[in-house]
Chain A
Amino acid sequence: MESVIRASAMYVILLVVFRAAIKRSLSEITTFDFILLLVIGEATQQALLGNDFSITNAAIVIITLVLIDIGLSFIKQFSKRADRLLEGQSLLIVKDGRPLQDRMKKEKIDEEDILEAARKWHGIERMSQIKYAVLEKSGGITIIPR
């Protein structure tokens, strides 16, 4: 039973913490973000397994985590509000070639990030060629060219 409690508690803690973390850092991985994720993985592992090194314990922890994941995806399917609470929403950040500065400031994005996404996905050269840019739930930026 302890395995189930540990797994559930860690899932909730990680969900809340990463929900609060800045979106950009999770989608475009810099070296530091990568290191951070590794270290978080290590810390989580300790909490999940404790001093129980049996295969059965690992299996129960993994199954509990996956089951919670499946359960949440069910909930997200049935409730739009829950979906928005858990995943967030898409946010418009460029409109008709003009960046929406206050939103970008809140999300800690600058124009360079938007232009990089524009170059990557559409080979766009300048901001004026962008019709809309959206910050997606995942933290990625999608571009609609003119």
Chain B
Amino acid sequence: MAQNKKSEHISLQVKEDMVFQRRQWLFERLSWVLMLLIVIGAIAGLFGEGLWSETHKQNTTIAVSYDTFARKDAPTSVTVSLKGGSKLVLDQTFLRSYKVESIHPEPAETTYGEGKIHYSFSSTQNAQNQEIVFRLQPNDIGVIKKLLGTEKEGGVTLHQIVYP
């Protein structure tokens, strides 16, 4: 059974190429699989918040939780726990990469110098592990690495990938 490029063996004037058609069907089916994988990825947290989207990093002074992946101009949140010390110290560039929508609880005082921003939080007596929630919107796309620490030595690096 010869496959003609044009269907000359029937009287209907229609140009069909079965080789091309079969490739198209294959492409369609592959696309469906790809789309299914994308949706599963989205549910898992590959493109933003999802089931397995949180990264937790901590050391003796600070603990940070954030979404591994975020999207530009979309809300995301970073939760910080100050374990030792009462000041949260961020790089100045943090504000360039993120638009801070809100900080809960509000810092009692904000000071800056030497390329760092200090947020002071007034706390009650046993304020270990006080949780501070930052609601942010990324301004950049790509890989963002920011150091978050307290006034004591050391901090953790927030390492987030932002989609457009």
Partner of B39, one of A2, A4, A57: A4
Cross-chain contact B36 with A67 (CB below 8 angstroms): yes
Partner of A56, one of B50, B51, B71: B71
A66 neighbours in B (Cβ, 8 Å):
35
- B121 interface residue (CB < 8 Å to A): no
B-contacting residues, A54-71, CB 8 Å: 54-57, 60, 63-64, 66-67, 70
| B65 nearest CB across to chain A (Å) | 17
| B53 nearest CB across to chain A (Å) | 8
- B119 interface residue (CB < 8 Å to A): no
Known contacts A1-B49, A2-B49, A3-B48; A56/B163 CB under 8 A: yes
A54 neighbours in B (Cβ, 8 Å):
71-74, 163-164
- B47 interface residue (CB < 8 Å to A): yes
CA distance A63 to B40 in the complex (A): 11
A-contacting residues, B29-43, CB 8 Å: 32, 35-36, 38-39, 42-43
Q: A1-42 toward B: CB 8 Å interface, digit per residue (1/0)?
A: 111100000000000000000000000000000000000000
Cross-chain contact A57 with B48 (CB below 8 angstroms): yes
CA distance A63 to B39 in the complex (A): 7
Partner of B42, one of A53, A60, A70: A60
- B85 interface residue (CB < 8 Å to A): no
Cross-chain contact A60 with B39 (CB below 8 angstroms): yes
Interface residues on A, range: 10 to 19
Partner of A60, one of B38, B44, B51, B53: B38
The DSSP consensus for interface residues of chain A is helix
A46 neighbours in B (Cβ, 8 Å):
none
CA distance A4 to B44 in the complex (A): 11
Chain A residue at minimum C-beta to C-beta distance from B74: A52
Can you identify 24 A-B contacts, CB atoms within 8 angstroms? A1-B43, A1-B45, A1-B48, A1-B50, A2-B48, A3-B48, A4-B39, A4-B43, A52-B71, A52-B74, A52-B75, A54-B71, A56-B47, A56-B71, A56-B164, A60-B38, A60-B47, A63-B38, A63-B39, A66-B35, A67-B32, A67-B36, A67-B39, A70-B32
Chain B residues proximal to chain A, CB less than 8 Å: 32, 35-36, 38-39, 42-45, 47-51, 53, 71-75, 163-164
Chain A residues proximal to chain B, CB less than 8 Å: 1-4, 51-57, 60, 63-64, 66-67, 70
